[in-house]
Amino acid sequence: MADNEVDAGISAIRSAALSFTGDPFAATAETCMTYLSDAILVMAAGRIRQFGPADEILPTLGPEVTVELYPDSLILPGFIDSHVHYPQIQIIGAGGETLIDWLDKYTFIAEQAYDDPDHAQQAAHRFFDELLRNGTTTAAVFCTVRPGSVDAFFAEAQKRAMRMIGGKVLMDRHAPAALTDTAQRGYDESKALIERWHGRDRLHYAITPRFAASSTPEQLKAAGALWREYPTTYVQSHLAETQAENEWVAALYPDRAGYFDVYDHFGLIGERSLYGHGIYLSEAEWQRIAESGTAIAHCPTSNMFLGSGLFNIGAAKNPDRPVRVGLATDLGAGTSFSMLRTMAAAYNVARLGGQALSAVQAFYLATRGAAEALMLDDKIGSLAPGMDADLIVLDLKSTPLIAYRMQFTDTLEEALFVQMTLGDDRAIRATYIAGDVAYERAR
């Protein structure tokens, strides 16, 4: 191959950059992150080829490589949303209810519309547009109970060359008949979807029982059996989101020691299992979550919107038995696609619970922390040679107020704090997927 062919797909960007190498809940911030005030990041064949200080990288680049300069910006790994419902994009901001009433009144109505493939395709298209506009490059996504909603989701992800996790909701009770399956049908349809999508390009399947209250024991048993047949797939569900839900699950599963024990009993916990919320958990449950390698998706805007409660980040990240935690929107109960807004909400939830959450920790939860929760930290969530070139360019002066406020920041932590407290979709200057610009904000 001629040299010019080898280098044909190379592109490079230059700006300040930040990435994590470790967990800032377990170590000091300085020891677990790389901050470069003037970095160059080189991309080729969908991956990061080089990343380092500009004065080191620049002399190594051939004359054919143009370097795109982003002033007043920060290159970050793409944000990762570790729990989100794409069919609920049409009911975001439907308020006034607690979880179970919100599901009955809005969610279970909206999700029935996904029997129509055109509707599913259009919603998926809009969903991915919004992810990219907000700098989210990977997400763990709930579809509806109907396989067509999953096909629409993965087809759109594949078209955009994105690394995505998703699955068909399993639900065989406590929902309208038009939105339920059976243990056998749920198993068969999920299996067919795994065969169709899992491992294709950058797509991953998640076996997705909605939550213990909407699946019979037979369905959870079948889900566990399916996971054992396809151990490289994921499991995703909900856990201990509200007190009323905890009480309901306790009544439905009287033989189990607690909510998490229901999933444990049916073989649905461990690495590559992701549970949204985890607000009402005992210390014994936290210990089991930690030792099993199960991950929790922290969904702060959703928890505030539904009034579900305050997630205990200190309990989750207890250094004696740390749990993998990813940040998540949980849209449509969550109120924003923006992981910056979600970080700000996580900070507010921590404060209301009498806890601290640094900006460094919040950015970690939305990038490398979430990648660790998804067991994908060898591919996404950090800036380093060999990683997928999924990244964003954050505009550090995206509004007049932020531009003004940034003049009065002295440290990186302060600057990150301002970005997470005041920033939103306008802060995303560009989103790169597999080395290509997938979204660029209008100049």
**CB within 8 Å of 334: residues ≥ 6 apart:** 84, 92, 299, 301, 302, 305, 328, 342
Quick note: the x/- pattern for ligand GUN over 72-101, rule CB under 6 A, is: -------------x-------------x--
DSSP per residue over 311-374, as a string?
--HHHHT-TTS--EEEE---TTTS--S-HHHHHHHHHHHHHHTT----HHHHHHHHTHHHHHHT
Are the beta carbons of 51 and 387 closer than 8 angstroms?
Answer: no
Contact code string over 222-251 relative to ligand GUN, x by CB under 6 A: ----------------x--x----------
Between 136 and 215, CB nearer to ligand GUN: 215
* Residue 245 is a binding residue for Zn ion (CB under 5 A): no
- Residue whose CB is nearest to ligand GUN in the complex, by number: 333
**Cβ 268 to ligand GUN shortest distance, Å:** 15
Report if residue 180 touches ligand GUN, rule: CB under 6 A: no
Which option in ligand GUN, Zn ion, none does residue 429 bind, with CB closer than 5 to 8 A by kind?
A: none
Among 43, 157, 333, 374, binds ligand GUN (CB under 6 A): 333
Whether 114 contacts 120, CB under 8 Å: yes
> Could you tell me if 238 and 251 are in contact, meaning their C-beta atoms sit under 8 angstroms apart?
no
Q: Which residues contact 214 (CB under 8 A, 6 or more apart)?
A: 171, 172, 173, 174, 175
Burial tier of 303 (Cβ tally within 10 Å: 0-12, 13-18, 19+): buried
Cis peptide before 353 (omega within 30 of 0): no
Q: How far is CA 40 from the centre of its chain?
A: 26
Q: Which of residues 305-344 bind Zn ion (CB under 5 A)?
A: 330
Minimum distance between the CB of residue 185 and ligand GUN, rounded to whole angstroms? 19
Residue 211 touches ligand GUN, criterion: CB under 6 A:
yes
Q: Considering the complex, state which of residue 56 and residue 101 has its C-beta at the smaller distance from Zn ion.
A: 101
CB of 238 to Zn ion, least distance (A): 6
Cβ of residue 344: shortest distance to ligand GUN, in angstroms? 19
C-alpha gyration radius of the chain:
21
With H, G, I as helix, E, B as strand and everything else as coil, classify residue 125. helix
Residue 111 touching Zn ion (CB under 5 A)? no
* Least distance from ligand GUN to the Cβ atom of residue 290, Å: 23
- Under rule CB under 6 A, residue 324 binds ligand GUN: no
Asked whether position 210 contacts ligand GUN by CB under 6 A, the answer is yes
Pairing between strand 169-170 and 164-167? unpaired
| Positions in the binding site for Zn ion (CB under 5 A) | 276, 330
| Positions in the binding site for ligand GUN (CB under 6 A) | 85, 99, 103, 107, 210-211, 238, 241, 302, 330, 333
